[in-house]
Amino acid sequence: MKFIYYSVFVSAFLGVAFVINNFLTYIFDLPGLFGTLAFLGFGYFDITNQDYSGVFLFFGIIQSISFLLAFFAPILILRRQKSESDAALLNSCSEIIVGFAFWSVMLIGVVDAAISFVRIEGLLPNIVGDDLALALGKPALRGFYIHIPLLIIGMIIALYRRGFDFIWLALLIVLGELLIVITRFIFSYEQAFMGDLVRFWYAGLFLFSSAYTLVHEGHVRVDVLYANFSEKSKAYTNIFGSIFLGIPLCWIVLIRGCWHETSPFNLALLNFEVTQQGFGMYVKYLMSGFLIIFALSMLFQFSSYIISHINSLVNKEENTVYG
């Protein structure tokens, strides 16, 4: 059990290191782990075909150390904390990740939809001027000057306000659909950004709330057998399913989507991929990032889930021995 306990912590921390270094490598052209190993003489790892040196090599070494920390940090945490707080720690990390995504999606959805609306109606040049209006019609510039600042604001809100309620996002989706129906059938008015906004929020609602649903045992189960299990058997079943099904799924999503510059998630994010439907919202590339958030938050939540069940088994055994 101790090995499993340690391994799930390592898996969660490796997920964070992998995602952060993925963006540092392909956005800022840093060498990453493989580029650093290739420079140090391990040619097998050269997947970038670039000659890194100087300051780039320095950052590459830091990136490589971050992966080592993913293995050593859990040792320090497990030594200093009580076992009851380990699951809570991982759960808090998952809450921060989901909270960041939740607030970012809310803010970006409102702001991007507003920009698309005034742009369609020809009001944008009157508000921001011709040059900025032209710039906001380009996906990369809107991403850099509108979306990225809103992502930073979303992260700040998530760090200082842990609570969030998906019911408000669900309500906004319903109101968005209602607005589409009213404007289409009463005012004969419909624009592409209206459907884009609903899809953007709808995708966020389901992918971001998965970790929250796991905590509250809300996911669908085929419980023909599970419902009749003892509490001990249920705990072992949940541990087994999380280790052999849940965590591998998260890593498959991350590796398949982010392994290389041309991987699906990286390609969409780096190119600010958008849907070309008239004057729609420029958020399609962010929806690729939703899957990264989903995999990372679920990785932490599965780890927390495993540890909480291990603790419950240990406590029951201790109660049996000393009871």
**Residue 75 main-chain phi, psi, to 5 deg:** -60, -45
Segment 80-94, tens digit of pLDDT: 656 667 888 888 889
Separation between Cα atoms, residue 147 and residue 141, nearest integer Å: 9
Around Cβ 123, how many Cβ atoms within 10 Å? 12
Residue with tokens 């607005």: 179
| Alpha-carbon 290 to chain mean position | 6
Q: Is pLDDT of 321 > 60?
A: no
**pLDDT attached to residue 240:** 92
- What mean pLDDT comes out for the span 87-110? 91
Say how many C-beta atoms besides its own lie within 10 A of residue 228's C-beta.
9
By the 8 A CB rule, do 323 and 17 touch? no
pLDDT tops 90 at residue 104? yes
Q: What is the pTM of this model?
A: 0.88
DSSP per position, 31-71: -HHHHHHHHTT-GGG--S-----THHHHHHHHHHHHHHHHH
pLDDT at 97: 92
Q: Is the pLDDT score of 46 beyond 70?
A: no
Q: Residues of 143-166 as b/e, b for ≥16 C-beta within 10 angstroms?
A: beebbeebbeebbebbeeeeebeb
pLDDT at 103: 92
pLDDT of residue 84: 66
- Give CA–CA dist 107/102, Å, rounded: 9
Residues 6+ apart with CB under 8 A from 296: 15, 16, 19, 97, 250, 254
Q: What is the pLDDT of residues 252-292, one digit of tens each?
A: 999 999 988 888 898 898 888 887 666 788 998 999 899 99
In this structure, the chain runs to a length of 323
CA 107 – CA 286 distance, rounded (Å): 13
- Which percentage of the chain shows pLDDT scores above 70? 89
pLDDT, tens digit, 9 for 90 and up, residues 206-236: 999 888 888 777 777 777 777 788 888 888 9
Confidence of residue 319 (pLDDT cuts 50, 70, 90): low
For the stretch 184-210, pLDDT in tens is 999 888 888 888 999 999 999 999 988
Q: What gap in Å lies between CA 112 and CA 283, rounded to an integer?
A: 8
Burial of 42 (0-12, 13-18, 19+ CB in 10 A): exposed
Query: What's the DSSP call for residue 245?
Result: I
SS3 for 175-235 is: HHHHHHHHHHHCCCCCCHHHHHHHHHHHHHHHHHHHHHHHHCCCCCCCCCCHHHCCHHHHH
The pLDDT of residue 110 is 93
User: Given a cut of 90, is residue 295 above it in pLDDT?
Assistant: yes
Helical axes 284-322 vs 192-215, angle rounded to 10°: 10
In the predicted model, what is the mean pLDDT of the chain?
85
d(C-alpha 260, C-alpha 41), whole Å? 21
Percent of the chain with pLDDT over 90: 36
Q: What pLDDT, in 10s, does the model give residues 13-40?
A: 999 999 999 988 888 888 887 777 777 7
Distance (Å, rounded) from C-alpha 208 to C-alpha 211? 7
Match 């439907």 to its residue by tokens. 277
- Looking at residue 81, its pLDDT comes to 56
- Alpha-carbon separation of residue 276 from 9, 15, 61, 192, 295 (angstroms): 42, 33, 41, 9, 28
The confidence band for 244, taking pLDDT boundaries of 50, 70 and 90, is very high
